[in-house]
Amino acid sequence: MDVYISGIQGKHPIQLGVAYFYRGHHLYGELGNTIVPIPFATKEIHVVGTVSGEAPPYHRKDPRLVEEKTIAALFKSMTHEWENLCTQEASPDDFYTQQMEVTGLMPETRRSGLPGM
Count of structural domains within the chain: 2
Model pLDDT for residues 3-27, shown as the tens digit of each residue: 999 999 999 998 889 889 989 999 9
- Asked if residue 114 is part of any domain, the answer here is no
**How many beta carbons lie within 10 A of that of residue 77, not counting itself?**
13
Please tell me whether residues 19 and 58 are part of one structural domain: yes
Please tell me whether residues 7 and 56 are part of one structural domain: yes
Please tell me whether residues 42 and 78 are part of one structural domain: no
The answer to whether the beta carbons of residues 27 and 20 sit under 8 Å apart is: yes
**Cα–Cα distance for residue pair 22/5, rounded to 1 Å:** 12
- Asked if residue 117 is part of any domain, the answer here is no
Model pLDDT for residues 22-64, shown as the tens digit of each residue: 899 999 999 888 988 886 666 677 776 667 777 889 999 999 9
Domain span at residue 90 reads: 72-109
Amino acid at 4: Y
Please tell me whether residues 53 and 91 are part of one structural domain: no
Closest CA relative to residue 34, chosen from 58, 17, 10:
58
- Asked if residue 83 is part of any domain, the answer here is yes
Please tell me whether residues 53 and 77 are part of one structural domain: no
Please tell me whether residues 12 and 28 are part of one structural domain: yes
Amino acid at 105: L
- Asked if residue 84 is part of any domain, the answer here is yes
